[in-house]
């Protein structure tokens, strides 16, 4: 969710992007922008997909458009009504400064939305046997870091997300150029979480492996 400032910007004062704060200060607006980063859609389509009343969606679409987060790309007659179709002009992405300027209640709500999406993706993949690929990566690693190490890891995680999005963009024309019967498309989801663990938490049985599994009872090796 957050994105740390680039190395060249560290230590330099930056004004928070108030336009982005206004645009994304509501979890539903964040979900709308996230969807419009993937495809063009109308408020009516968004209402059906996000399970929210159309008037609520229409209001938040207007807020996003007013803050230049989305733009109108076309209008179409759909079942006798004129529908407006929008696409995103910015990513639902925050610098540390912008994220810290949001109220804590908004940050918690946004995290809640993301965690629900993550669980939905993971549960859906598990139910359809999509976790069986041997290259599937699932890890859980506990760390004790000083500030220098913490900042470097945060930058590395965000650099990984940036590179993943670059690979996504680079793959699109290659996939489009392939005949459909020869196309090997890996439709994946990448989730990264790095947070301060609860002080009362206990470490799991294993750290850092591809899959962690603890036996429910001691193994008898005699």
Residue 27: count other Cβ atoms within 10 Å of its Cβ. Answer: 17
Residue 166: count other Cβ atoms within 10 Å of its Cβ. Answer: 10
Q: Give the pLDDT score at 222.
A: 37
Mean model confidence pLDDT for the chain: 81
Q: Give the pLDDT score at 208.
A: 46
| Pairing state between β 70-78 and 81-88 | antiparallel
Q: Give the pLDDT score at 11.
A: 36
CA distance 165 to 31: 18
pLDDT tens digit sequence for 176-212: 898 888 888 898 999 988 999 988 766 654 444 444 4
Q: Give the pLDDT score at 203.
A: 61
This prediction has a pTM of: 0.66
Average pLDDT, integer, range 137-166: 92
Q: Give the pLDDT score at 204.
A: 56
Q: Using N-to-C axis directions, what is the helix angle for 27-36 and 43-50, rounded to 10°?
A: 110
pLDDT tens digit sequence for 133-148: 999 999 889 999 999 9
* Strand partners for 74: 85
Q: Which segment of 30-39, 72-81, 185-194, 211-220 scores lowest on mean pLDDT? A: 211-220
Q: Give the pLDDT score at 56.
A: 95
């Amino acid at each position: 969710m957050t994105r740390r400032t680039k190395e060249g910007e560290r230590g330099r004062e930056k004004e928070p992007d108030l336009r982005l704060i206004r645009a994304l200060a509501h979890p539903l607006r964040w979900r709308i922008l996230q969807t419009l980063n993937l495809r063009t859609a109308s408020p009516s389509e968004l209402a059906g997909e996000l399970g929210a009343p159309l008037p609520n969606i229409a209001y938040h679409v207007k807020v996003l458009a007013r803050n230049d987060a989305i733009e109108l790309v076309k209008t179409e007659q759909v079942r006798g009504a004129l529908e407006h179709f929008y696409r995103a002009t910015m990513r639902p992405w925050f610098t540390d400064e912008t994220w810290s300027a949001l109220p804590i209640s908004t940050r918690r709500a946004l995290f809640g939305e993301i965690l629900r999406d993550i669980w939905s993706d993971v549960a859906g993949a598990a139910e359809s046997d999509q976790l069986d690929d041997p290259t599937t990566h699932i890890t859980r690693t506990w760390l004790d870091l000083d500030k220098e190490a913490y900042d470097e890891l945060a930058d590395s995680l965000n650099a990984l997300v940036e590179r993943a999005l670059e690979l996504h963009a680079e793959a699109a024309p290659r996939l489009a150029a392939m005949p459909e019967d020869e196309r090997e498309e890996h439709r994946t989801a990448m989730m990264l979480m790095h947070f301060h663990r609860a002080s009362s938490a206990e470490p799991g049985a294993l750290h850092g492996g591809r899959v962690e599994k603890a036996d429910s009872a001691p193994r008898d090796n005699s």
